[in-house]
Amino acid sequence: MPSDPKTLRALAHPLRWKLIDLVGRVETATATRCAEELGESVASCSYHLNILAKYGFVEQAPAGAGREKPWKLTSFRQDLSGDGFGEEGQAASRAASEVFLDHEVGKLKERLHGHATEPPQWRDAVGFGGVTTALTAEELAEVTSSLNALVRRYADRATDRSLVPEGAREVRLFFATSVAPR
């Protein structure tokens, strides 16, 4: 749970979501490695890693070789709720959520570019879709809870690499539910 609106605002930057993804995927990463993989400058990655550290999203990992500081995630789960922080918190929540969604859609589009070159078993396993229907608030809560439970069934593999089966590849499981404005 974020401690204040400023903590949420720290997540309202596209590079910070890329850094969170990268550091989570590789377990620890230096600003230099992040810069190489993300096509950014070392200074920019270092600055944004320090901002993420200031607000508790990453922390220094045990020291690497030389002056390089490796970073690791403090949690694989980010809470984007502004509940309890008033209007400022709700605005920060919206800003962080919008950047997160832009990041997710960007990753999805990027991965779709190479979709046709994947082996058939991987091409056939990937999918996305949507449906617009009418639900009660209780039904929507049930759908959201069920989707969340399904995604969380595999989440422990992010923190315990020994649980990753042979032949597994990095996969992004993302879901969203929303309600139309009144």
Q: Give 77-99 pLDDT, tens digit per residue.
A: 888 988 888 899 999 999 999 99
Q: Give the residue among 68, 71, 42, 58 at the shortest CA–CA distance from 10.
A: 58
pTM: 0.86
Share of the chain above pLDDT 70, in %: 97
Q: What is the spatial distance between Cα 31 and Cα 35, in angstroms, rounded to a whole number?
A: 6
> Do 71 and 30 contact (CB within 8 A), yes or no?
yes
Whole-number pLDDT of residue 162: 93
Residue 65 has pLDDT above 70, yes or no: no
Helices (H), the chain: 5-9, 14-26, 31-38, 42-54, 86-113, 120-125, 137-152, 156-159
Q: What is the spatial distance between Cα 67 and Cα 86, in angstroms, rounded to a whole number?
A: 42
What are the distances in angstroms from CA 17 to CA 48, 65, 78, 90?
A: 10, 26, 10, 19
**Amino acid identity at 8:** L
All structural domains of the chain:
1-118 (1.10.10.10), 129-182 (no CATH)
Residue 173 has pLDDT above 80, yes or no: yes
